[in-house]
Amino acid sequence: MFDKERIMSKLSDLTLYAKRLDSMAPHSIDTYKDSDMMLKSAVERNLQLVSDVELDILAFLDKGLELGLSGDDSSLIDRFEGKFSKKAINKVRERRTLRNLLIHAYADSSYEKESFGQSHDTSDISDFIKEVKQIIA
């Protein structure tokens, strides 16, 4: 049994974060690289939020489908291969990887190229939302 109310609430959050990314992300990598730290931080934070919400949704779906116990984030994502399109699952993985890099190694490295790429093309998020709705229907 799915907790449709919580899933729909998370989908609403996901839509909000995707809209924020679309509105704030500069249209070129050079403009992004030249942006101030506040804009880059806002973009990176919204990418983290998208990743966290996607993982929350997968956890709700996992529970509703009664797939059993899952381990870490990667194993949870792996469980949905075949239930989501390959593109959707790969983008969830890419976003989760970037999220973990930003959180755990932010001071050591720059992830401008990856952050720009993921914030500039958010079409996969609407695909993810559609696929979630199909699963819970």
Predicted confidence pLDDT, tens digits, the chain (137 residues) = 889 999 999 999 999 999 999 999 999 999 999 999 999 999 999 999 999 999 999 999 998 888 776 678 888 999 999 999 999 999 999 999 999 888 886 555 578 888 998 898 888 999 999 999 999 98
Tokens of 57: 């949704």
**Residue recorded with tokens 């229907």:** 137
CATH architecture assignment, domain 4-136 = Up-down Bundle (1.20)
- Which segments of the chain does DSSP mark as H helices, in order? 4-24, 29-34, 37-65, 73-78, 86-105, 112-120, 123-136
10 CB-near residues (< 8 Å, 6+ apart): 53, 56, 57, 60
What is the full DSSP assignment across 108-135? T---HHHHHHHHH--HHHHHHHHHHHHH
Q: What's the whole-model pTM score?
A: 0.87
Q: Does residue 70 contact residue 79 with C-beta atoms inside 8 Å?
A: yes
Q: Is 35 helix (H, G, I), strand (E, B) or coil?
A: coil
The identity of residue 4, as a single letter, is K
